[in-house]
């Protein structure tokens, strides 16, 4: 009990760091024995994925049912920040690809995968997902469908009895508490995921694509550490890095290892709660961000497309580059609704330059080879930005209302409360 008490007094981020280090040590020193511990990673990700759809459904519905007439939310500002961040990420990726052009060795075509034909098809899939059978949407974790039906049902229950509203709210709170219990297992889960990643994938297969990976990861770091903080600063006129690092540390790390925006929705909601954000807002913005806030996907689409362009010796003019930035942003917003995520949208972007589909699918195959790192960094950027922009919009609203707000003070207060709760 003493050991358990001491362990609980350590912050979750430090616990995860311990799990990370332990996973690396075990995977390198005793890989065959360590493989049996990968079950912890599978259980952790599966638990998050299992609870996320029903959590989103009830949390969104409860937010709308409890919403009082005349009470304003920040959804317009948050959606604007999501779209702005995604577009800027795509634009930065295009600029960086021009400054540091890379080529790739094309591999065998990935014939079993089917890519969407054009941007209209991507948007059509997005719209069809909105009217998916609600039960099927929950089972398949179709978050656009879940959000749509939760909003409709929430509006339909606006005039329900107080007893019904209380039940929905209590059920939502119970699900949130379950999420807290699951997140407590993050150190074990991260340890299992690290062991699985090292023992199964290794790093040898990535050596042939060092330049491409460096460009991808470097661009994502530029967006995470320069572009996003600049957006936060413009909105708040305060040092953005305490909030940026908080989101990267507590959301980005788990997203990096789970490689799933859906699995990270409960983590982001828990972080939003700790930051003292409005439940009615983050209950909708976080699952919505997992669908349309796709800066990492925009970078992946732009960089891999221009790598194919450079490999084939195709000349790119400025207007086409701008169109690629917009196309990457639009396609990235629909990436979560397409099997295979952002990689399967590369042929769509390649068609802008007249690259045939069979060659474009070879680029997709390259993407899957480097996916162990590319997808991890992409998900970490996407998911951590959901909380970052939600918090930015809310803090900006508080400042406009005349509240004396300091980001540093806010985070210090939150950490002090967390220590008390742990002890």
pLDDT above 60 (res 346) = yes
Mean pLDDT computed over 213-234:
94
pLDDT above 50 (res 111) = no
Cα separation, 389 vs 339, in Å, equals 26
DSSP secondary structure, 265-288, as one string: HHHHHHHHHHTT--HHHHHHHHHH
For residue range 28-84, list pLDDT tens digits in order: 888 888 888 888 888 888 887 788 788 878 877 887 787 666 556 678 899 899 989
User: What 3-state class would DSSP assign to 178?
Assistant: helix
Cβ neighbors of 328 (< 8 A, separation 6 or more) are 90, 93, 94, 298, 301, 302, 305, 349
Q: What is the pTM of this model?
A: 0.74
DSSP character for 224?
I
Cα separation, 76 vs 230, in Å, equals 20
Cβ neighbors of 36 (< 8 A, separation 6 or more) are none
pLDDT above 90 (res 144) = no
List, in order of start, the domains of the chain with CATH numbers: 2-422 (1.10.3860.10)
Start-to-end CA span in the chain (Å): 13
pLDDT above 60 (res 201) = no
Cα separation, 292 vs 413, in Å, equals 31
Cα separation, 193 vs 22, in Å, equals 11
Cα separation, 9 vs 143, in Å, equals 35
Cα separation, 328 vs 112, in Å, equals 23
**pLDDT band for position 337 (cuts 50, 70, 90):** very low
Instruction: Kindly report the average pLDDT of the chain as a whole number.
Output: 80
């Amino acid at each position: 009990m003493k050991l358990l008490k001491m362990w609980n007094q350590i912050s979750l981020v430090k616990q995860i760091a311990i799990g990370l280090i332990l996973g690396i040590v075990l995977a390198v020193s005793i890989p065959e024995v360590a493989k049996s511990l990968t079950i912890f990673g599978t259980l952790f990700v599966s638990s998050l994925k299992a609870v996320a759809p029903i959590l989103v459904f009830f949390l969104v519905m409860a937010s709308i049912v409890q919403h009082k007439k005349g009470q304003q939310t920040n959804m317009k500002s948050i959606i604007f920040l999501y779209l702005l961040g995604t577009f800027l990420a795509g634009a930065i990726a295009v600029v960086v690809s021009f400054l540091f052009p890379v080529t790739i060795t094309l591999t065998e075509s990935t014939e079993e995968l089917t890519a969407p034909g054009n941007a209209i098809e991507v948007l059509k899939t997005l719209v069809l997902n909105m009217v998916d059978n609600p039960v099927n949407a929950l089972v398949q974790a179709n978050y656009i469908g879940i959000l749509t039906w939760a909003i409709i049902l929430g509006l339909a229950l606006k005039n329900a009895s107080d007893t019904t509203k209380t039940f929905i709210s209590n059920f939502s709170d119970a699900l949130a508490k379950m999420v807290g219990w699951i997140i407590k297992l993050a150190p074990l889960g991260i340890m299992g995921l690290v062991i699985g990643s090292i023992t199964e994938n290794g790093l040898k297969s990535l050596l042939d694509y060092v330049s491409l990976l460096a460009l991808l990861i470097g661009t994502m770091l530029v967006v995470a550490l320069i572009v996003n903080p600049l957006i936060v600063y413009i909105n708040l006129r305060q040092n953005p890095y305490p909030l940026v690092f908080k989101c990267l540390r507590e959301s980005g790390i788990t997203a990096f290892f789970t490689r799933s925006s859906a699995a990270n929705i409960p983590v982001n909601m828990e972080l939003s709660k700790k930051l003292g954000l409005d439940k009615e807002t983050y209950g909708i913005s976080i699952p919505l961000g997992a669908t349309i806030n796709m800066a990492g996907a925009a970078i992946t689409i732009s960089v891999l497309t221009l790598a194919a362009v450079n490999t084939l010796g195709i000349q790119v003019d400025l207007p086409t580059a701008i169109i690629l930035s917009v196309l990457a942003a639009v396609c990235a917003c629909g990436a979560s609704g397409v099997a295979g995520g952002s990689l399967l949208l590369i042929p769509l972007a390649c068609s802008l330059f007249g690259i045939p589909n069979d060659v474009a699918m070879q680029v997709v195959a390259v993407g899957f080879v480097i996916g162990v790192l590319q997808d991890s960094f992409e998900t970490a950027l996407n998911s951590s930005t959901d909380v970052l922009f939600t918090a930015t919009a809310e803090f900006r609203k508080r400042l406009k209302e005349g509240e004396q707000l300091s980001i540093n003070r806010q985070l210090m207060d939150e950490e002090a409360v967390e220590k008390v709760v742990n002890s």
